[in-house]
């Protein structure tokens, strides 16, 4: 599996909030976008220089939103302050990739900050108006994915959610009949086919990941890596808390 990350100069449709408003949180962002355009048009009509009004959600509100999305409290505690780790750098670059760059894999052992970086990604994608009006979930650990039946409501939510984090993929039990492999294959294929942004954290390196989950899964990821994301192997020794997340 390729590990090199490639940059794209193309426009980022993922950040165009006029598109794909099916999810409630995207509708919230679209309402914000619409209000800003209305203010801009009104100012222009009356000869005033447009000055955007600061709107958004507090840091505490963002944390509450992440908690409702399933991010564990042990991860949320790390968001009180952290340095600019390699993992955080990778997720911020991934956030700017076009929608075709749908997948990022963060690989490394304990202390490399991969799970915290995935939470930073969700933190920085909380809509300006806050949490959606309904309970959703964007954070799943690999064990939970493995235990979810392919016909369950949770599995459908995994397929359809705009954003998804699969944390610690590789520690789950693989049944001898290959049921989990089949569900994971379908999940990855559906998210790949519909450009659903996905971050996976794992302690497996690229070769071990491919051996465990197969060429089909690896191939879907490689296609996305051409547009952004990538399989990033981390070797940071620790995560010293030196600054707060913006």
- Each residue's pLDDT tens digit in the chain (246 positions)? 544 444 443 443 334 434 444 455 556 656 666 766 776 676 566 554 444 444 567 888 888 889 989 999 999 988 876 667 899 999 999 999 999 999 999 999 988 999 999 999 999 998 876 555 545 789 999 999 988 886 778 898 899 898 999 999 998 887 777 788 889 999 999 999 999 999 999 999 999 999 999 999 999 999 999 999 999 999 855 554 333 333
CA separation for the pair 59, 80 (Å, rounded): 9
CA separation for the pair 210, 183 (Å, rounded): 16
CB 10 within 8 A of CB 233: no
**Chain-centroid distance, C-alpha 37:** 27
b/e per residue 148-181 (b: at least 16 CB within 10 A): beeeeeebeebbebbbbbbbbbbebeeeeeeebb
Q: Which domains does the chain have, with CATH numbers?
A: 57-233 (3.40.50.300)
């Amino acid at each position: 599996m390729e590990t090199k990350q490639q940059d794209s100069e193309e426009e980022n449709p993922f950040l165009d909030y006029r598109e794909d408003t099916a999810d409630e949180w995207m509708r919230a962002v679209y309402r914000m976008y619409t209000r800003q355009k209305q203010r801009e048009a009104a100012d222009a009509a009356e000869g005033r220089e447009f000055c955007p009004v600061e709107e958004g959600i507090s840091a505490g509100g963002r944390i509450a939103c992440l908690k409702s999305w399933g991010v564990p409290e042990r991860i949320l505690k790390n968001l009180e302050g952290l340095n600019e780790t390699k993992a955080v750098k990778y997720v911020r670059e991934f956030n700017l990739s076009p929608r075709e760059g749908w997948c990022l894999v963060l690989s490394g052992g304990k202390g490399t900050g991969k799970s915290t970086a995935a939470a930073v990604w969700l933190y920085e994608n909380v809509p300006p108006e806050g949490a959606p009006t309904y309970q959703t979930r964007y954070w799943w650990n690999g064990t939970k994915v493995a235990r979810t039946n392919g016909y369950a409501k949770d599995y459908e939510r995994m397929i359809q959610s705009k954003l998804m984090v699969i944390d610690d993929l590789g520690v789950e039990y693989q049944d001898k009949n290959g049921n989990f492999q089949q569900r994971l294959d379908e999940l990855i294929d559906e998210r790949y086919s519909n450009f659903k942004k996905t971050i996976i954290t794992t302690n497996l390196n690229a070769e071990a990941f491919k051996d465990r989950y197969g060429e089909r899964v690896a191939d879907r990821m490689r296609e996305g890596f051409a547009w952004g994301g990538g399989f990033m192997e981390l070797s940071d020794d620790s995560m010293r808390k030196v600054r707060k997340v913006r």
